[in-house]
Amino acid sequence: MTPSDRKAVSRRNFLAASAGVAGAAIARASSADTLADVPPRVLGDALSGHSERSQYVDISRIPEAGPGMRNVDPSLAINSKTPLQKLVGTITPSALHYERSHAGVPNLDPAKHRLLIHGMAEKQLVLSVDDLKAMPAVSRIAFIECTGNGWENWKSADENLTVQNTHGLISTNEWTGVPLGYLIDLVKKDRKSTWMLAEGGDAAGVARSIPLTDEIMREAIVAYGQNGEPLRPAHGFPIRLVLPGYEGNLNIKWLRRLKFGDEPWMTRWETSRYTQLLANGKAMQFQLRQEVNSVITSPSGMMEIKKGYNRITGLAWSGYGKITKVEISVDDGKTWKAAQLNLPVLPKSQSRFQMDWEWDGKATKIVSRSTDEKGNVQPDRASFIAKVGTNALFHYNAQQTWSIDASGRVRNVLA
């Protein structure tokens, strides 16, 4: 038997054992003296131009104006968070992908929009959206995460938060577009050019300097597609830059310019904004990659559970590559157990994990930690704060703890 055969058998055994535990628990809970009435068949509604969600599904984003500033007038909001606790699988519906903008959402006509590519290169090009769509395309599933994800828990923990509040600034989509490397070859970038300026077409003029590493040139996409359809305006229509694994702010929306150079441009978005203030008072600049992270989405903040069988599930991700392991503790970090990773596990994409749990009805705390293929392990809060301090605002990836009291109330707490 080959190692791959043994791995397949091991996985089948794991699934069989898991199915047995879950099936037995559900069967006990669902047993009845008589069979339930089977609903009658009913006539359906007429077909339409696009499908709507069921009237029985209540799912939406939460606009906020900053850490702790929730339930605001949407006109004052700076971002809107994805309802992670209500999603299944790993792909975020386009309409629920988190939103972050600095000057609202521009209404751009794709027939008039242009992408300027210039700087240290043999050719200078101005491309239309149709030009880009006529080029070789790739599709890739990847997460995009705002650097402010998790900022709610930097200094204190509001117990009345859901996982949407604490971790809703991340989403995973399938992105389709032209590989950046293809465009680089097209204009014949100067070999001495090691940086690229990417600029958006919004009123804020968001522009970021991006190091042209082999990884970025190989993986970056100038995208026009999102989950099989054109980008939504809030997410960059008609084109945006997608840099798998890197800061959300680098994934420039409403892309209008790419300029090549031999040094960073030091825009205000990388000097006065999106820098990390450390405990010693110095600021870290160009902290571009998103770290290994995970969060339990159910049970999570503001939920209630019952004694007995529960299924723990959540999401894990890393800007360094694939998630290789997620562990769950149901006793406040004293002991850990490996969770099941749902297939497929893709690099720089969110991965779904799950585990069976028989809760004994006693107050406890649950927490997850993830490990990626580079060996990076998600830190506990004490280790994270000892290294970074509490002056910072971005790149919070400490383990998320949920407390559960004897009545089954789940609340947000600091470890």
CB 118 within 8 A of CB 83: no
Give the C-alpha separation, 281 to 274, whole Å.
15
pLDDT of residue 31: 63
Give the C-alpha separation, 99 to 394, whole Å.
17
The values of phi and psi at residue 223, to 5°, are -95, 140
Which residues, 6 or more positions from 168, have their beta carbon under 8 angstroms from its beta carbon? 61, 62, 81, 82, 83, 84, 98, 149
pLDDT of residue 395: 96
CB 400 within 8 A of CB 153: yes
Q: Is residue 353 part of a domain?
A: yes
Average model confidence (pLDDT) across the chain: 92
Show the domain range for 402: 292-413
CB 353 within 8 A of CB 368: yes
pLDDT of residue 62: 86
Q: Is residue 329 part of a domain?
A: yes
CB 401 within 8 A of CB 365: yes
Q: Is residue 404 part of a domain?
A: yes
pLDDT of residue 350: 98
pTM exceeds 0.95: no
Q: Could you report the average pLDDT of every consecutive run of 10 residues in the chain (415 residues)?
A: 52 58 70 69 90 91 76 79 97 97 95 98 98 98 97 92 97 98 98 98 97 98 98 98 98 98 97 88 91 98 97 98 98 98 98 98 98 98 93 94 98 95
Q: Is residue 43 part of a domain?
A: no
pLDDT of residue 9: 47
Neighbours of 321 (CB within 10 A): 17
Q: Is residue 345 part of a domain?
A: yes
Give the C-alpha separation, 103 to 74, whole Å.
13
Q: Is residue 108 part of a domain?
A: no
pLDDT of residue 21: 72
Which of 123, 168, 165 lies closest to 143 in space, CA to CA?
168
Q: Is residue 36 part of a domain?
A: no
DSSP, collapsed to helix, strand or coil, labels residue 120 as: coil
Give the C-alpha separation, 160 to 248, whole Å.
27
Helix (H) or strand (E) holding 218: helix 214-219
pLDDT of residue 184: 98
Give the C-alpha separation, 244 to 200, whole Å.
18
Q: Is residue 50 part of a domain?
A: no
pLDDT of residue 211: 98
CATH number, domain containing residue 364: 2.60.40.650
pLDDT of residue 280: 85
Q: How many domains does the chain have?
A: 1
Q: In the chain, what percentage of residues exceed pLDDT 90?
A: 79
Which of 284, 343, 288 lies closest to 89 in space, CA to CA?
343
Cα distances (angstroms) measured from residue 242 to each of 183, 218, 310, 311, 348: 14, 12, 37, 34, 12
pLDDT of residue 24: 74
